[in-house]
Chain A
Amino acid sequence: MATAIAQPVERENYLNKHYGVGSWLLTTDHKRIALLYLASITFFFFIGGFFALLIRLELLTPAGDLVQADTYNKLFTMHGQVMIFFFLIPSIPAVLGNFLVPMMIGAKDLAFPKINLLSWYIYAIAGILMLHCMLTGGVDTGWTFYTPFSTAFSNTKVIEAGLAIFISGFSSILTGLNFIVTIHRMRAPGMTWSRLPLFIWAHYATSIIQILGTPVVAITLVLVVAERALHLGIFDPKLGGDPLLFQHLFWFYSHPAVYIMILPSMGVVTEIIACFSRKRIFGYSFVALSSIAIAVFGFLVWAHHMFVAGISVYAALVFSILSYAVAVPSAVKVFNWTATLYKGSIRYDAPMLYAFGFLGLFTMGGLTGLFLSALGINVHVTDTYFVIAHFHYIMVGGALMGYLGGMHFWWPKITGRLYPEGWARLAALIVFVGFNLTFFPQFILGYLGMPRRYYDYSHMPEFQVLNVLSTAGATVLGVGYLLPMMYFLWSMRYGKPAPDNPWRAAGLEWQTPSPPPTFNFETEPVVTWEAYNYDEIDKGHKEVPQVVG
């Protein structure tokens, strides 16, 4: 098939400029670093997914008959830790952000390329430590490390896991730092703030959260490790400490962390919706500012994770009201995306299918978040599958869909190859069906009272049907994830060579060859047009002044 097509003479690009392991492990090219991250996070996605598979297998039957209770505790703990810290938090920023941020603003690289490479090494070291921890016994505290169980009672490798996550935090901090300085200092002439792609605004807001929030969880993990090693008493009620202090400090980061995971995805979805509706984004400044608002408001709501933990009812009231407020900027975005779609010329390529999936599933996840913000409902569904369904709708139905959509959208630019569109659309549908089959039953299960983190529900055997549906869905979902892995790999060798701008999309990154040369632009671009100028592009005006010779 592909062999019949004459391969064009390969231009020099960032992929073929240097060969050899050393040229990859010592690179400072943001595009190569993005691919280093792509490989590592995919690896951890498999590991996290493997744990999920075991969890779902256990829950096929009410009895705890697949693994022991302690093992099950380790499974859900490590599923959460791996997926959150080693997959979701890096995912879009470290892969798509690293690759695209400099290109979208017309720069040759990030502000600090060596620190970018250091970020990846820090992540890799943290990952190796985490792997070692998992292989030598694992940790069973829940990804939330609640004290005093984690500091005084757990017999698992809490210190090692805590240190691994502590180290990975610095990778996140340095990436955020790099993005902020880059976006402030390295925009090409004419690339004003109001002409920036909303993907950039989203990553800017994400970076603010990364640099302000991550250090707090870092010091909290230091305290947990110190307390566990030295029996200090900071979180131990027997010694005068308050276990809730840990929770306050932990959730001060971990709530904004969920915005680290969703904001970049929102940025991706904005780019895709504009391109596949052939329209400017409706309400550009609202979308841009709502990203910043999410970043700011996201820091004000953390104790909604602690409503039943023992905080005072007055604190609960304050945080409940603030949690309603934080939903507003997200809703603003959903309205703006919908208005963008209205009267657009919609194309249903794979990236757009993922974007549609995102719209519906993120909205559901977000609305159920509002249910959880209501104190009365929260008391009823905390620590049940309702919460699990809520955050998986956002993290998987939202963030992961956005990630997959973005990978498809920019794949031609990154690799210079086209993926097979038919298979991609099929995979997107399989993912959507599998996802809903996995997680919708969990809303019902939670509402009916099935607790989370239980490996044995034999006192509630009536829940089995919904659990079986959920596990069946997970299998379908797994197939849906394997398909892209396979055809992406296939396309790198056998895919059709991609043109510079296969989607006729707006954005400076599309004004370079696919794949781009190492320094992105031959001459520094000078921007004189507004973002998302699809009307100009589609009228056949000479597409934005070419910047590459």
Chain B
Amino acid sequence: MQMKYVTTICPYCGTGCALNLVVRDGKTVGVAPSNRSPVCSGKLCSRGLHAADALNEGRVVQPVVKGETSDWETAIGKAAELKKYAAGEIIIITSPRITNETQYLVWKFAHSLGAAIGVIHGGSGVPTVKLDELKDADVILALGNVMQALPLTGNRILQAKENGARLLYLGPQSYTAVQADTVEITDEYKELPPGFGALLKNAAHPAVVYMANDSAAAKLAEGLGISAAVLYDTNNGRGTSLMGIGPLSLQESTKAALVIAETPLMEQDIYADILQKLDSLELTVVAASAETSLSAIADIVLPIASQHESDGTVTNWEGRVQMLRKAVDSPEGVKSLQEVLAELAEKMGFGIPSGTPEEMYTALAGEISAFGNSTYEQIAKPEGVFVQEV
């Protein structure tokens, strides 16, 4: 019997809690707290507590071509038919849940191809406050159910309240509404209710908290001119945004798509809204670690390693770059996203960078200046490293 703890980052929301995966004989069998984490001090929410099996269910272990299981050579060959399309006809749809290093490669892939790239369920916006600084706010405005979406970020709001802060809430009936001192229940927020403005204006350290994919909230928050916690609800939404990868927009001219998917258990189906459109394309190639609704409409499915099977880094909403650590080997027949992209690029007649996660981070840091202030080695410490303002 071989048992060990592997310290890594939760695959769910953008708070970036560290956790220990309990690995027995090469399998993830449980989650244990990482009390050392400055983000969560060992605390985890219901999703983090289930991180061990979050990525093990419904794994794809063999390439699929037109609904039939296939071999890698055939599948990559078919997928390379993407090259038949003009650059303007291809879209790369990436996931906000892959590491900074692999996202960089997806971005390079799109760039080399001249194709458009967009992230689904990512978000945009630059936070101007750090997680722990929320504890020191004296008036906090929450737009929407932010405390339930990112529970360990909600933890800092609870701590602020314990320090005497007043919590204002605007949004639908929710957990956050229950916690708030002043509540305005509404399904859409266009303007601040009377009284909220004065409370924020008279506060010494006001802050507004909202989700990075909530454009109505962003609009409202912008007008306030106060510290903003812009919460990305995926583990690398912020990193993706920092690379300049914006929200997906599907054009009429789009005829083919390469979709990178990584969806842990219990998460909503983020592809439901675009499924019909993708189904109508001439060619849809999906690289995914597990079955999603995409499997039903994909022409080709390429099985890739999950987060627990990869080394790399992710960026939480506040811009803290932290280390993901490989806990287990991939099932047989599965390749890393990096391998898949490299093979596909080669078949299509171009090249993308290759190397270890450390080499890829160095390349990323050289190209995207937000990441330029840190080395892979520095990120290994439990505090991680904050990206720099640019």
**Are chains A and B native binding partners rather than an unrelated pairing?**
no
